[in-house]
Amino acid sequence: PTVLILNGPNLNLLGEREPAIYGRAKLADIEKSCRKRAKELGLAADFKQSNHEGELVDWIQAARLSHAAIVINPAAYTHTSVALLDALTAAGLPVIEVHLSNIHRRDRFRHHSYVSLAATGVICGLGAQGYLLALDAVATLLKTQEE
């Protein structure tokens, strides 16, 4: 089974962007550790980033038939995008929402997530480790689906 790992706008700047909030790891480092963890769990990882809402929607729509689950850090679109929410709902796959920072400890406008309405589970505040925890959760969810 292949997991689609999606990253929203500005996450291509990880490592240089507000390191006090988002950490020093670059997106390529996170991708590498996700691929390793996925392999250990018997999964394949399809890792993507886009600054464009519509491109993320297209990828989610395509995943419906080709992927077993979606891990998504929607970044700023978390707080604005009904389009991502609708696409994730339509996909009908397990969805784990990940945020590097603890969005509940930050600006008020970051406390609300449209995406959470379509999420099986949400992980925030644990930095890059959150992506690995999300993959662990996907492996467990897929296993219970089989039983």
CB neighbours of 6 closer than 8 A, spacing ≥ 6?
Answer: 48, 49, 50, 56, 59, 60, 70, 71, 72, 73, 74
Query: Binding of ligand DQA at residue 56 (CB under 6 A)?
Result: no
Q: Smallest distance, Å, CB 116 to ligand DQA?
A: 12
Using alpha carbons only, what angle is made at residue 65 by residues 45 and 146, rounded to the nearest 5 degrees? 75
Cβ(70)–Cβ(6) below 8 Å: yes
Structure tokens at 147: 């039983």
- Our answer to whether residue 131 is catalytic in this structure is no
- Our answer to whether residue 114 is catalytic in this structure is no
Binding residues: 73, 79, 86, 100-101, 110
- The pattern of x and - marking residues 108 through 127 that bind ligand DQA according to CB under 6 A reads --x-----------------
- The pattern of x and - marking residues 6 through 45 that bind ligand DQA according to CB under 6 A reads ----x-----------------------------------
Query: Binding of ligand DQA at residue 78 (CB under 6 A)?
Result: yes
Cβ(90)–Cβ(83) below 8 Å: no
Binding residues for substrate: 73, 79, 86, 100-101, 110
**Catalytically annotated residue among 22, 77, 114, 131:** 22
